[in-house]
Structure formats: structure tokens, C-alpha cells
Structure 1
Amino acid sequence: MTSGHRVEPTHTHPDQVPVQVVFAALADPVRLSIVRELAQSPDWLRACGSFDVPVGKAALSHHFAVLRSAGVIEQRDAGAKRVNRLRRAELDARFPGLLALALNG
């Protein structure tokens, strides 16, 4: 795009996701690290570039896309940054105890 505007990310609600998809998303160490860091942060505070993970920008974008499509996170643009929130309440409603297990495991 030449306008400089990013395309808004697409999201999948946890109600539309089978548990196997969430398991697969959380099975990757980088994605689990992102989720654990988000769990320690207030909603919409963490920008994509603020995570301490051993991957480049393209791989990090892929990991965020996997987490969004699994219904684990939600993202929105805030100025020049894309910020994140863990969909804790939605996941707990759909899969009680799953997120707590992943965060404490």
C-alpha cells in the first residue's frame, strides 16, 4: 500500500476455535512466551516490538497471526504501534482452566 496505512488484523473469537487449535498455538515456545508476557501486562499496553523473543520481525508477525487465529490474543493499532491484549475472559469462558494451566505450566 502506498498510503502508509496498515490493514487491520483479523481476529477469530475463541467461541469459533476448537481446543486443538489453541493447544497448537500455545505449544510453540515463542508464542507461549508472548502469552505469558501478555498475562503480566495490562490490556493494550504491550506493542508488538516490546516482547523479548529470539525471532525477527517477519517470524514475530507470523506468531501473532497464529495467536489471533486461535482466539488467544486481540490486536489493534494505536498510532504507529500495534498493541495487544490477552483474551483471558473469553478463553476462560470457552475453555475453563486451560489458560491458567498454560501460564503456570
Structure 2
Amino acid sequence: MRLELVRRAWGNPESTCSALADGMDVPISTLSNHWRILREAGLISMAVDGRHRRIRLRAADLRDRFPGLLDPILRLTAAESPNTGPL
């Protein structure tokens, strides 16, 4: 679930939590927990925009910290995902 959320954040920069979770059959409370874990792990950042939270994958920071790790994981995930969007 978290890997799919990260993949969606990668393909849709600055999107909202609800937009990224669209089509996922998961309770909002569960998604909120996943977003919190991803944020605390340093994979995403959140910005308040009115009543919404904008999600940004911290791709540049991750590439600096772990060179060569992020792109292959996201490509593999995108290839396996039945909901592959514009990546």
C-alpha cells in the first residue's frame, strides 16, 4: 500500500492526499496512518493548502542520500501496478 502511494506521489507531484488515494479501496483512517508513516520516514513532505494536504515525494533528497535506489524501485512498481498512470 505504501509503495503504491509513493509511486502515485512520484507520478503526480504536489497532488492532494485524496487525489492520490482515489480508487484505492482503503478506509481514510488507514490512509492517514500510511501518510504519517511515509512522512515520518522522510519519503514525502506535506504542505497545508486550505483544507487539503499536498503531498510531495522527496525524490531529490532520496537520490542524494541513496543514489541509484529510488528510480529502479519506482520503475519496477509502476510495471507491476494494474493502475499505472502517467509516469
Query: TM-score if structure 1 supplies the norm length?
Result: 0.66
Q: 2:11 aligns with which of 40, 48, 51?
A: 40
Shift of 1:99: 1.0
State the distance in 2 between where 1:54 and 1:89 align: 30
RMSD of aligned Cα (Å): 1.0
- For 1:59-74, what aligned pairs fall within 5 Å after superposition? 59-74=30-45
CA distance in 2, matches of 1:97, 1:83: 26
Structure 2: which 5+ runs fail to align?
A: 77-87
Structure number with bigger Rg: 1
Q: Percent of aligned positions with the same letter in both sequences?
A: 41
- 4+ runs of 1 displaced by more than 6 Å? none
TM-score by length of 2: 0.79
Paired residues for 1:12-91 under 5 Å: 30-42=1-13, 44=14, 46-50=15-19, 51-52=21-22, 53-91=24-62
